[in-house]
Amino acid sequence: MALIIGNEWNLLFANNPKIHAFAVAKDRAIIWQTDNWNLVEDIDGILKSIQENSSQVSAGGVKYTRVSSSDSSYIATAAQSKGHLLLVRIEENSWAIAFAAPSAVPDLTVIDVKKTAIQLKGHI
């Protein structure tokens, strides 16, 4: 599983280098994340914010404000050009989570994360 997620991360980053970090959560726990990001302590709050469709979410000490959300995705942007937090549902209890650079266009970048989530279905 880790190899599959790692391969998909490599493809995602190669396709969109504005995505700087990536993680996968399953059953409210981080099961894989890039070395430059640690969401282990934040994942409960992140998933709770999504479930409650909150207007704000916090990750890595940065507060993000929701831009858009649905049952299968959540897009949030941080103030002061601190980037974007993108979440896409992989399966019922699993999520692909990405951090994108401030210069990324969140509505377009989430499409790349959705493609990765599709590739991860059945492998998590």
What is d(CA 103, CA 116) in angstroms, rounded to the nearest whole number? 21
Residue 100 pLDDT: 98
Q: Each residue of 35-72: pLDDT tens digit?
A: 999 999 999 999 999 899 899 999 989 999 999 999 99
Give, for 108, the enclosing helix (H) or strand (E): helix 106-120
Position 109 pLDDT exceeds 90: yes
Q: What is the CATH number of the domain that holds 68?
A: 3.30.450.30
What would the two tokens of residue 70 be?
Answer: 């649905």
Total number of domains in the chain:
1
> What number of other Cβ atoms are within 10 A of residue 55's Cβ?
11
> pTM (2 decimals)?
0.95
What is d(CA 96, CA 24) in angstroms, rounded to the nearest whole number? 5
What is d(CA 42, CA 37) in angstroms, rounded to the nearest whole number? 11
pLDDT bin (cut points 50, 70, 90) of residue 2 is: confident
What is d(CA 17, CA 10) in angstroms, rounded to the nearest whole number? 10
The mean of the pLDDT values for the chain is 95
Print the domain residue range for 107: 2-120
